């Protein structure tokens, strides 16, 4: 008969592991309706005080929403409630395979990631040691508890466990960064989908800025420039055709005036 599939079955464990990986990457997101309702209330509250910001301040506008969910449904919910922003800014890091954001994320979570790296290196060192000793036919107590599997134990056996060093402009492939890389890939995929949806509205301008080698101030300045652009006066460069057309118009006006004088 068929063997019973239990929780310990390798395929089941592989599926569970994959599900956990996926869950660790995907964020818990509230429904589009809830987001839109909460935002609508917040903006309504803001509008009550908006006029007090400065003399002649408009009632509408003056708000920024950070980290709004990247989904077409969430965007549509805003559109339906008439809450579309004037400008959508996307900060991304595509230079050098996104090393800037990887490094920044690593530094922000350094302790946690370093402990994961150390644990992996320690486990690998101990496993290698065990295999070597088994190969030599020596009996060895199998280390099972996590307390035993510490950097100190590995070092006692002659192994020196050290963290890998990362150069400023480099970030080697290490398993501990995989979740972060997957999150970035997911973001880029979702952004492309939502960006094409946003661009369907001619009233919303999209700004995509690279964060590499930029300060928060420079990114803010670039964003402000784009936001102010529609309100700036743009000079019109006259071509030769425009000048000819203008000359003809003036001549025609002159003739009309002459005719009026003659009639009088």
Residues 145 and 77 in one domain: no
Is the pLDDT at 140 greater than 70? The verdict is no
What is the per-residue pLDDT across 193-211, written as a single tens digit (0 to 9) for each? 999 999 988 888 899 999 9
Q: Tell me how crowded residue 195 is: count the other CB atoms within 10 A of its CB.
A: 15
Q: Tell me how crowded residue 194 is: count the other CB atoms within 10 A of its CB.
A: 21
Number of domains making up the chain: 2
Residues 60 and 119 in one domain: no
The vertex-20 CA angle with 14 and 24, nearest 5°, equals 145
Position 255 in a domain: no
Percentage with pLDDT > 90 across the chain: 17
Distance CA 249, CA 76 (A): 48
Both tokens assigned to 73: 């449904």
Residues 124 and 60 in one domain: no
Residues 60 and 3 in one domain: yes
Domain residues for 127? 111-168
What is the per-residue pLDDT across 12-28, written as a single tens digit (0 to 9) for each? 777 777 777 666 555 66
Distance CA 178, CA 117 (A): 12
Distance CA 81, CA 120 (A): 50
What is the per-residue pLDDT across 229-241, written as a single tens digit (0 to 9) for each? 877 766 667 777 8
Q: Rounded to whole angstroms, what are the CA distances from 222 to 84, 213, 234?
A: 21, 14, 18
Position 17 in a domain: yes
Domain boundary among 138, 153, 168: 168
Rounded to an integer, the average pLDDT of 93-119 is: 87
Residues 117 and 62 in one domain: no
Both tokens assigned to 226: 């784009």
Rounded to an integer, the average pLDDT of 114-134 is: 87
CB 40 within 8 A of CB 81: yes
Domain boundary among 121, 136, 168: 168
Residues 74 and 123 in one domain: no
Position 262 in a domain: no
The vertex-80 CA angle with 194 and 31, nearest 5°, equals 65
- Decide which of 92 and 97 is more confident: 92
Q: What is the mean pLDDT of the chain?
A: 80
pLDDT of residue 189: 92
Domain boundary among 81, 103, 128: 81
Both tokens assigned to 37: 């309702």
């Amino acid at each position: 008969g068929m063997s019973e599939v239990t929780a310990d079955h390798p395929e089941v464990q592989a599926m569970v592991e994959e599900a956990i990986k996926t869950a660790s990457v995907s964020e818990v997101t509230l429904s589009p309706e809830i987001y839109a309702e909460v935002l609508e209330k917040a903006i309504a509250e803001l509008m009550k005080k908006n006029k007090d910001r400065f003399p002649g301040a408009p009632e509408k506008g003056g708000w920024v929403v950070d980290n709004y969910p990247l989904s077409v449904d969430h965007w549509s919910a805003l559109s339906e409630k008439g809450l579309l922003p004037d400008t959508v800014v996307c900060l991304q890091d595509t230079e050098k395979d996104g090393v800037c954001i990887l490094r920044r994320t690593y530094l922000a979570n350094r302790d946690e990631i370093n402990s994961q790296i150390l644990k992996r290196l320690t486990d690998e060192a101990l496993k290698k040691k065990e295999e070597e000793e088994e190969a030599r036919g020596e009996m060895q107590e199998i280390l099972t508890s996590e307390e035993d599997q510490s950097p100190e134990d590995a070092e006692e056996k002659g192994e020196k466990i050290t963290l890998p060093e990362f150069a400023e402009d480099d970030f080697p492939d290490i398993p501990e960064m995989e979740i972060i890389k997957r999150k970035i890939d997911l973001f880029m995929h979702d952004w492309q989908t939502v960006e094409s949806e946003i661009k369907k509205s001619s009233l919303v301008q999209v700004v995509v800025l690279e964060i590499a080698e930029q300060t928060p101030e420079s990114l803010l300045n670039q964003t402000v420039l784009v936001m102010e652009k529609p309100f700036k006066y743009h000079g019109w460069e006259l071509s030769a055709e425009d000048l000819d057309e203008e000359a003809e118009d003036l001549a025609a006006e002159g003739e009309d005036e002459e005719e009026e004088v003659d009639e009088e």
